[in-house]
Structure 1
Amino acid sequence: MDKKRASQQEHVTFNSLINRMEIFRVNNTQGNLIFDLFDQYRVFYKQESDIKLAEDFIQARLDNNESVIFVAVINDKSKPVGFTQLYPKYSSARAVKNWILNDLYVAKEHRKQGIGEKLIKMAMAFAKENNAKFVELSTAIDNYTAQSLYEQIGFEIQNPEIDFYTYRISLT
């Protein structure tokens, strides 16, 4: 019985959180909403914490209109709990603009509550409204939790050898 009550309590908390959560596009005066989350995101990917770098990087993307960022907030917009950042991807041959979902991060204490999925779906809706044919993303080979989420939403692993190879050269 205690397990059942605990499960019901988690469900209530989950519903309560989602009901009071809002997701919106960040404008160039709202970068401060995600500076800390972006720093945490970088740390998750084994980069050193550097809040000044996070602030400068995000603010530059917003000021130069180089990315689209959505933030999930709770408690009447006072607590950011996750974000996603999209970059445009152009195809000259197809004459279209698609989107790369480059960053997705949900604060550790707010994971497994549907926030990441809602952020992705918001990004997908934005891309579709802007006539994109697809949204693509990459994730670490060992990030099984993210892979499961992406596949659950409908993303499919692409085989780069079908049409094109990707090459890279270091400039440092």
Structure 2
Amino acid sequence: MITIRAATINDLDTLTELLEGYRQFYQQPSDSGAARDFLQQRFRQADSRILVSETSDGALTGFVQLYPGVSTVGLNARWTLNDLFVVPESREKGTGRALMEAATQLAREHGVARLILMTQVENERAQQLYESLGWQRNTAFYGYLLDIN
């Protein structure tokens, strides 16, 4: 059985490992110290919402991270679902779906009007999950990036 709950600072060690797995999925170099510092900063600043999936024996198997924001045009709250990661051995078992559904419910509870996300064009597996949950591909706007550093 999968339980979804809010992450706490007590999850920091395991959450760091999950974040490292997520970053490696995106071909980033391993840096556990920086990942740990990043998560500690999120907890300290309370600038994101992190949900984790947990097995009945207490093992964390995935996480989703949301960043609150607002829309000037919509005059409402919009959250960015920035990260979704499930350990390989827990994929295709409903963990990602459960995390996505819990993120949607959390947003609903906070009166958020819209969730947004971006995923790599090649990540068809994730796209199938999102679309099966009712997410719609944005065809009205182009996304742009500007690297500052």
Which bin holds the TM-score, normalised by the shorter protein?
Answer: over 0.9
Letter in 2 for 1:171: I
User: What does residue 108 of structure 2 align with?
Assistant: 128
Matches within 5 A, 1:26-65: 26-65=7-46
User: What does residue 101 of structure 1 align with?
Assistant: 81
Give the alignment's TM-score, normalised by structure 1: 0.81
Q: Is the 8 Å Cα contact of residues 160 and 166 (structure 1) preserved in structure 2?
A: no
Q: Is the 8 Å Cα contact of residues 3 and 56 (structure 2) preserved in structure 1?
A: no
User: What does residue 68 of structure 2 align with?
Assistant: 88
User: What does residue 170 of structure 1 align with?
Assistant: 147
Task: Quote the offset at 1:169 in angstroms.
Answer: 2.8
Tell me which of the two structures has the higher relative contact order, counting C-alpha pairs closer than 8 angstroms and 6 or more residues apart: 2
Q: Is the 8 Å Cα contact of residues 81 and 116 (structure 2) preserved in structure 1?
A: yes
Task: Quote the offset at 1:166 in angstroms.
Answer: 4.3
Task: Quote the offset at 1:49 in angstroms.
Answer: 1.0
Unaligned 5+ runs, structure 2 = none
Task: Quote the offset at 1:167 in angstroms.
Answer: 4.0
Letter in 2 for 1:138: M
Task: Quote the offset at 1:95 in angstroms.
Answer: 2.6
User: What does residue 4 of structure 2 align with?
Assistant: 23
- Partners of 1:168 and 1:48 lie apart in 2 by 21
Q: Give the paired residue count.
A: 149
**Greater mean alpha carbon deviation, residues 92-101 or residues 108-117:** 92-101
Instruction: Report the identity percentage.
Output: 34
- Partners of 1:167 and 1:106 lie apart in 2 by 27
Task: Quote the offset at 1:93 in angstroms.
Answer: 3.4
Q: Is the 8 Å Cα contact of residues 89 and 99 (structure 1) preserved in structure 2?
A: yes
- Partners of 1:47 and 1:141 lie apart in 2 by 17
In the alignment, is residue 160 of structure 1 matched against residue 140 of structure 2? yes
Give CA-to-partner distance per residue, 1:7-28, whole Å, 9 cap, x none: xxxxxxxxxxxx2x21100133
Give the alignment's TM-score, normalised by structure 2: 0.93
- Other structure's SS at 1:34 match: helix
- Partners of 1:166 and 1:81 lie apart in 2 by 31
Unaligned 5+ runs, structure 1 = 1-18
